[in-house]
Amino acid sequence: MTTDPTPTGRRPRRAVARLALPLAALTLALSACTQGGPAAEPTDQETAVQSSTPQPSSTGTPTADGGPTPSTPRSTPPAAPTDAPSTPAAADNALLTISIQQDAGAAPVQYVLECVDGVPGPASTLPGAEAACAALARLGTAFFTAQPNKDVICTQQYAGPQTASITGEFNGTSVLASFALTDGCEISRWDRARDLLGTPGAQ
């Protein structure tokens, strides 16, 4: 019969010693984790997962279907309208013969009025030609081509025996107009053309 020479009382002590060493190492490892250590670098799998995670879009807030709301474009203020260049008024051109007769027995006196681009031309012999050209621009061709209206009632006035006529071309329109002082309508017409005909009754 074989007998163990080791005393029985020493066996539990050896077992406890064997267990104490692993427990001490485990305690040291846990202590190092709680005190903090170098962070573990992410593995390749973790990096791939992070890169596949969708990032929030800066173009707009997500809509109900998950897509980004289109960003609203900034409205550009309308450009201030530029002033269109004003079209210059057409210059008046005329070459007229003005004949004034003081009475039926007097010889008529004739003058020439030439207006080139609204100013007197070299052929003008009418006194006050500058004012006459301005009067043409004011009156227009319709004044010299209008026919008398028979339905208009004119006052029965008489301002003198003078008569006058204007013939020629005004802005490309042939002019043939006659003037007298035999009633209120004719006196009014003469007065409107005073810069061309002179003052009614003047010699």
HEC states along 21-72?
HHHHHHHHHHHHHHHCCCCCCCCHHHHHHHHHCCCCCCCCCECCCCCECCCC
Query: What span, in angstroms and rounded, lies between the C-alpha atoms of 201 and 199?
Result: 6
Amino acid at 89: A
Query: Higher-confidence residue: 41 or 121?
Result: 121
* Domain range list for the chain: 94-197
Is residue 190 predicted with pLDDT exceeding 70? yes
Cβ count within 10 A of residue 14: 9
Q: What percent of the chain has pLDDT over 90?
A: 45
pLDDT at position 87? 39
Residue 158 has pLDDT above 70, yes or no: yes
Q: Which residue has the higher pLDDT, 106 or 15?
A: 106
Residue 34's pLDDT is: 53
In DSSP notation, 100-140 reads: EESSTTSPPEEEEEEEETTEE-TT--STTHHHHHHHHHHHH
What's residue 48's pLDDT? 45
Q: Give ∠ CA 178-182-184 in degrees, rounded to 5.
A: 100
Mean pLDDT of 22-47: 55
Fold for domain 94-197?
Subtilisin Inhibitor (3.30.350)
Backbone angles phi, psi at 8, to 5 degrees: -60, -35
Residue-wise pLDDT tens digits, 99-139:
999 998 999 999 999 999 999 999 999 999 999 999 999 99
In this model, does residue 89 exceed pLDDT 60?
Answer: no
Tell me the pLDDT of the chain averaged across its residues: 75
Confidence of residue 43 (pLDDT cuts 50, 70, 90): low
* 167 within 8 A of 140, measured Cβ to Cβ: no
